[in-house]
Structure 1
Amino acid sequence: MTVTDAPLSVEKPRSPSRPAARRNNFELYSWLFMRLSGVVLLFLVLGHLLIMLFLDGGVQRINFAFVAGRWASPFWQMWDLTMLWLAGLHGGNGLRTIINDYSRKDGTRFWLKMLLYVSVLLTVGLGTFVLFTFDPNIG
């Protein structure tokens, strides 16, 4: 029997005895969020800088009365709120990725991420609180 006369058969490759673990798509959605929020933040931040720094006299006009007048409008409240939330979540997600990539021990990774989550929650929460409870009539 020659090599060409041998029957062609391929052994069944080894397969795990248990089914593959089900994965969630958190990292995919996280990656997608970073790209989309980055594009939206680009427009929000550039618009913010254009208005705050270059139009109508620049930085010299920014004071308490300017902020009070700006936040009297629901449009500007939502603009700043959207910018605050997207920047906080975008930055927190980026730092979460860095922590996952560079922390070697599980305990270190856990505590760094807990510190990150608490700081993002406090920063975004406090900023949201200030935006919605701002009172221009001090005193």
Structure 2
Amino acid sequence: MTVNIETPRSLPKRSGINLEKWGWIYMRASGVVLVVLIFGHLFVNLMVGDGVHAIDFAFVGGKWADPFWVVWDTLLLWLALIHGANGMRTLVADYAHNPTLRRIFMWSLLGATVVLLVLGSLVIFTFDPCPVGYDDLLPEFCKDIK
């Protein structure tokens, strides 16, 4: 018994940017970079020095006093949040069949992503490693400043 499958209709070519293709490429590229960033982050925070027992305000303050770690953690924040939001966008596009509900989910996802990116970036870039009044929590280099 043979089964004949009809030839699928070809979609007309659209001009402009193919956002689905670029979203797919972003997921692959950011995934590779995120693996390096995440394992570097885990190695430095959990394996170097006293491990997890050394993580406190002074540890974070000492790390974020170095521009290298500010860039590292900012990249980690932005790539991970946008990667996750793009994955959620794909799920909403696949499973939200009602156009109004899909639009609400997409705008909510965009709003949540933007808020988290802004707040996370503010924390990283406005972090003060040497606040006044917390002498017992400060990293060593803050004690030399006072």
TM-score class, shorter = 0.7 to 0.9
Give per-residue Cα distances to partners, 1:64-119, cap 9 Å, x unaligned: 01100000000000000000000010000000000000001000000001110011
Instruction: Using CA pairs under 8 Å that are at least 6 residues apart, name the structure with larger relative contact order, 1 or 2.
Output: 2
Match of 1:99 among 85, 92, 101: 92
After superposition, the Cα gap between the structure-2 partners of 1:29 and 1:72, relative to the gap in structure 1 and judged at 3 Å, is same
Q: Which residue of 1 aligns with 2:56?
A: 63
Q: Does the residue aligned with 2:48 lie in a helix, a strand or coil?
A: helix
Does residue 85 (structure 1) correspond to residue 82 (structure 2)? The answer is no
Q: Which residue of 2 aligns with 1:51?
A: 44
Q: Does the residue aligned with 1:24 lie in a helix, a strand or coil?
A: coil
Q: Which residue of 2 aligns with 1:75?
A: 68
The farther-off stretch of 23-32 and 88-97 is 23-32
Q: Report how many residues are paired.
A: 121
1:22, CA displacement in angstroms?
A: 2.8
How far apart in 2 are the matches of 1:29 and 1:57?
42
Does residue 114 (structure 1) correspond to residue 107 (structure 2)? The answer is yes
How far apart in 2 are the matches of 1:79 and 1:137?
21
Unpaired runs of 5+ in structure 1? 1-18
Q: Which runs of 4+ in 1 moved over 2 A?
A: 19-24
Across the aligned residues of Structure 1 and Structure 2, the Cα RMSD in angstroms comes to 1.3
After superposition, the Cα gap between the structure-2 partners of 1:57 and 1:20, relative to the gap in structure 1 and judged at 3 Å, is closer
Q: Does the residue aligned with 1:56 lie in a helix, a strand or coil?
A: coil
Unpaired runs of 5+ in structure 2? 1-11, 133-146
Identity of aligned residues (%): 44
Q: Partner amino acid for 2:126?
A: T
**Structure of larger gyration radius:** 1
1:136, CA displacement in angstroms?
A: 1.6
How far apart in 2 are the matches of 1:107 and 1:120?
20
Q: Partner amino acid for 2:99?
A: D
How far apart in 2 are the matches of 1:77 and 1:50?
16
Q: Partner amino acid for 1:87?
A: A
1:50, CA displacement in angstroms?
A: 0.8
Q: Partner amino acid for 1:116?
A: L
